[in-house]
Each structure stands twice: as C-alpha cells, then as structure tokens.
Amino acid sequence: MSYEIIYDKQFIKLKDNLFVPMLYWGSSNLFEPTYGGRERRSREWSSWNYITGGNFYATKEEILLNCDKLRQEKIDNNKDAQLRYSNWDVYDDKQFGYFSSIAIGGSTHNTSYGNFKGLFSTGCRKALTIEELKSFGVSVSITSYLYKNDYDDLGVKPYNSSPTNGDEFIEMIKEATERYKDTDVSISVRLNGAHERVLKQIRNKLFPRKKSIKKRIEVNQFYTITVGGRYFVRKLKYGYKYAPYPYVKYITKKEALNRIKNYGSNYKVELVKEKTTI
C-alpha cells in the first residue's frame, strides 16, 4: 500500500495572515532516475491544497483547524472499521501517519499527529514572501495541466505565469481558476530553483536556532566518578576513558549515581571537597 512522504516544507506568506502550504513531497511507489543510474522515490515542490480546504491558500487558523478535522476523520473511519472487523487496529495519535498514510521524512509509524500538525504550525511561522524567495533565487510559478485532452478542444489556453509578489499571486490564482472552471484542467503552484537542501539553507540563515547558554555556578564541593581508582571521563565501545584529575562533576550525589546506574559495580561515586565551577 502506497503512502505520501513529506520531505520538506516552505510556506509562502501572503497578506492578511494567508499562507500557501508548499511541500516537497511524493508518493512511496513512484520513482525517478538519479545520477549513476540509480533510482529514488519521486518528489517535487507543490502546494498541498488538501489542508487548505481545496483552495491554494488559507489562514493559519484555518490550516490548523483542517489538521484537526483530518484527525477526527481518521478517528471516525477507524471506529467504523472496528465495527466491521474485530481485529482492526485502534487509532492512536502516536501512529497518525500509519492511519493517514502520511510519512514525514521517513516511516508512517514514526509520524505522530503532533509531528503532522507541528509541520503546518512551523511552516506558517517560517513562511517567506514571494519577494523574499526571489531574493534567494527561488521563484513561484502557477501552471495549468490537462491530461490527454487538447486545450483547443476546450476552447481555452494553457496557463503559465510567475507572480512577483503576493497580490499578483492572488490575482493569478483567481484568473486561472475562472479560466478553467467547469473543465478538466488542473492548476498547480510550484517552486523553481528550490533544489535539494536550498530552502533548508535559506531558513537556517533567516531563522537561526538560538543557542542555549548554561549558567555556571560556583560550589565548595562536588561529586565525581571513579573506575579502577582512576577518574572517569566517558564510556567507550570497549572500556572507558580516564583522566588524572576529577573530570566529570555533579552537584548532587543522585546525579552521579544516575550516570553510572548501568555501568557496573566497579564504577564509584566520590565526594571531592574543593571549590569548582559547574
């Protein structure tokens, strides 16, 4: 059974708290060629209209509400299935990916509902405007797609435009939607120039992680760990590393004991009565 894999996200920020949820995603059973003659699962940047109620954009509140609606839908479907099949699995938020056939970055079994909803919450928080994306060489395109049939048979022309700002985006979506109403033509929004890791690099630059600074305190004594009469540093694959002086330091004996609880009886906790900073 196939499922959808979400590899990355980069929402587009419009005016009035509106967002276009752009995902880098693809199906688990579709593959594409790579360098060296190998294959990998197919993926591309496109808008995920399912979470915006079939539209191309929605407010953050609407998006998160639709996440909750999708969760409730899976719960209701699961209850119906349990009535029909006695051995049917019971829905669990921790296994949301399994019940919804959605994987974020890997397996459906490792995708919880918190992961899923958090993806859209974070996506809105780190959304970029079309102008911001353009400054990094990434453009947005709105294109039409028609399977098998000819546009001339429908009396319409193909659509392919690239908005330069949010207002143009909204107007182009309205224009394309109006042009193809009551036809089989579909409309897609894509990111161009957004190669592997490009948008991650852009977000890391614009939204750097705040490094936590641990406050150090001065104490008159501390606890350390010894093994075989030597001061312990860290465990190795085979054995341990040691130092000629107390290396690891703990304020309380309980902290030190917790560190060695699975290390063996030759590891000991020792009280060192001297001033230090921890």
- CA-based max dimension of the chain: 90
Q: Is residue 164 very low, low, confident or very high in pLDDT (cuts 50, 70, 90)?
A: very high
Quick one: three-class SS letters along the chain?
Answer: CCCEEEEEECCEECCCCEEECEEEEEECCCEEECHHHCEEECCEEEECHHHHCCCCCEEHHHHHHHHHHHHHHHHHHHHHHHHHCCCCCCCCHHHHHHHHCEEECCCHHHCCHHHHHHHHHHHHHCCECHHHHHHCCCEEEEEEECCCCCHHHHCCCCCEECCCCHHHHHHHHHHHHHHCCCCCCEEEEEEECCCCCHHHHHHHHHCCCCCCCCCCCEECCEEEEEECCEEEEEECCCCEEEECCCCCCECCHHHHHHHHCCCCCCEEEEEECCCEEC
Provide the pLDDT for residue 136.
96
Instruction: Calculate mean pLDDT across residues 16-22.
Output: 97
Which token pair is 204? 């890391």
State pLDDT tens for residues 120-162: 999 999 999 999 999 999 999 999 999 887 899 899 999 999 9
With a pLDDT cut of 90, the percent of the chain lying above it is 86
Task: Say if residue 213's pLDDT is above 80.
Answer: no
Q: Is residue 214 very low, low, confident or very high in pLDDT (cuts 50, 70, 90)?
A: confident
Full-model pTM: 0.76
